[in-house]
Amino acid sequence: DAKTTQPTSMDCAEGRAANLPCNHSTISGNEYVYWYRQIHSQGPQYIIHGLKNNETNEMASLIITEDRKSSTLILPHATLRDTAVYYCIAPPIKAAGNKLTFGGGTRVLVKP
């Protein structure tokens, strides 16, 4: 997997946008960036993924820099339920078993 680097933790005010950065400077041209989150002891939840272009869905937006060496996940209006560990990954195109391997992630605390 391309190595990804994320801040260990960050706080966010409820109702404000949360911007979560991720560095992936070794990503190859055909590897996607995926974001997942895990609320305490619940199953990981897929959020969004992208290759080059910015992507948006009902949960979040993903902004990928033109050189693809970094990206930012944006939660537009954070709620208390968005408190979770967020994982940015860039898995290889064909990994055995399609396994997901999470690093340390960013622990996001949304405060009232």
Which residues sit at the interface with another protein, rule CB under 8 A? Answer: 32, 34, 41-46, 49, 89, 91, 94, 97-103
- With residue 107 as reference, give the H or E element that holds it: strand 106-111
Which residues make beta-bridge pairs with 109?
11
- As measured in angstroms, the least distance from the Cβ of 42 to another protein is 6
Contacts of 1 (CB under 8 A, 6+ apart): 89, 90, 91, 92, 95, 101
- As measured in angstroms, the least distance from the Cβ of 111 to another protein is 25
- As measured in angstroms, the least distance from the Cβ of 89 to another protein is 8
Contacts of 97 (CB under 8 A, 6+ apart): none
Choose between 99 and 112: whose C-beta lies nearer to another protein.
99
- As measured in angstroms, the least distance from the Cβ of 49 to another protein is 6
Q: Which amino acid is at 96?
A: A
Choose between 12 and 85: whose C-beta lies nearer to another protein.
85
Choose between 81 and 99: whose C-beta lies nearer to another protein.
99
Phi first, then psi, for residue 38 (nearest 5°) are -135, 110
